[in-house]
Amino acid sequence: EAGVVQSPRYKIIEKKQPVAFWCNPISGHNTLYWYRQNLGQGPELLIRYENEEAVDDSQLPKDRFSAERLKGVDSTLKIQPAELGDSAVYLCASSLSGDRDNYGYTFGSGTRLTVV
């Protein structure tokens, strides 16, 4: 099993440019998460999908961030325009989960974004 696959692994862009990240979750996992991890800190949730529905996007800065999970499988996270403070590692995770339990929660390798 390939695990959670993310691309690209690294991205360097100039501020005000757009950027997109892609995530392919583990096959059969209904829940998909996008996290942002700043240097020296724990992951912070940006958005959570149950199948194709975004059920928790309260932490997503909606003025510049957007996400989609068409067909309830792959997902993309976009930033437009990027700001210097967006430099971080963006982690995707997936699991087979219900309201009260969680199985197989796995992180992808992440995309390290540097905005210059």
Partner 1 sequence: GENVEQHPSTLSVQEGDSAVIKCTYSDSASNYFPWYKQELGKRPQLIIDIRSNVGEKKDQRIAVTLNKTAKHFSLHITETQPEDSAVYFCAAFNFNKFYFGSGTKLNVKP
Alpha helix ranges (H) inside 1-116? none
55 or 84, CB closer to partner 1?
55
CA pair distance 113, 8, nearest whole angstrom: 9
Q: Which of 8, 15, 17, 44 binds partner 1 (CB under 8 A)?
A: 44
Q: Which region, judged by CB under 8 A, interacts with partner 1, from 13-21, 64-72, 74-82, 97-105?
A: 97-105
Residue 90 in contact with partner 1, rule: CB under 8 A: no
Q: Which helix (H) or strand (E) holds 106?
A: strand 102-107
Q: Which helix (H) or strand (E) holds 37?
A: strand 31-37
**Interface with partner 1 (CB under 8 A):** 31, 33, 40-45, 48, 50, 55-56, 91, 97-102, 105-110, 112
